[in-house]
Amino acid sequence: MLLKDKVAIITGGAKGIGKGIALMFAKEGCDVVVNAMHIEGAEKVAAEINAMGRKAIAIACDVADSAAVNDMVARTVKEFGKIDILVNNAGGVAGDAKIGDTTEEAWDRVISVNLTGQFLMCKAVIPYMKKNKYGKIINVSSMGAIHPPAPIVHYHAAKGGVLGLTTNLALELAQNNITVNAILPGPIKTEFFTEMFKGKSEAEAKAFFKMLDNKVPMHRMGEPEEIAGVALFLASDMSSYVTGEAINVGGGLPLSPMDEE
**Catalytic one of 128, 134, 155, 241:** 155
Question: Angle at CA 183, nearest 5°, toward 178 and 186?
Answer: 180
| Residue 234 to residues 77, 218, 246, 259, Cα–Cα distance (Å) | 22, 24, 11, 34
- The dihedral through the CA atoms of 120, 19, 21, 220 has a sign that is negative
- The dihedral through the CA atoms of 203, 205, 209, 214 has a sign that is positive
Query: Which residue, 213, 159, 214, is CA-closest to 189?
Result: 213
Beta strand pairing call for 31-36 and 7-10 = parallel
Which burial class, exposed, middle or buried, applies to 129 when counting CB atoms under 10 A from its CB (0-12, 13-18, 19+)? buried
| Residue 250 to residues 34, 154, 214, Cα–Cα distance (Å) | 25, 21, 13
DSSP for residue 115: I
C-beta of residue 144 within 8 angstroms of C-beta of residue 152: yes
Query: Which residue, 149, 240, 237, 232, is CA-closest to 186?
Result: 149
Q: Which helix (H) or strand (E) holds 9?
A: strand 7-10
Has 155 been annotated as catalytic? yes
Q: What are the catalytic residues? A: 155
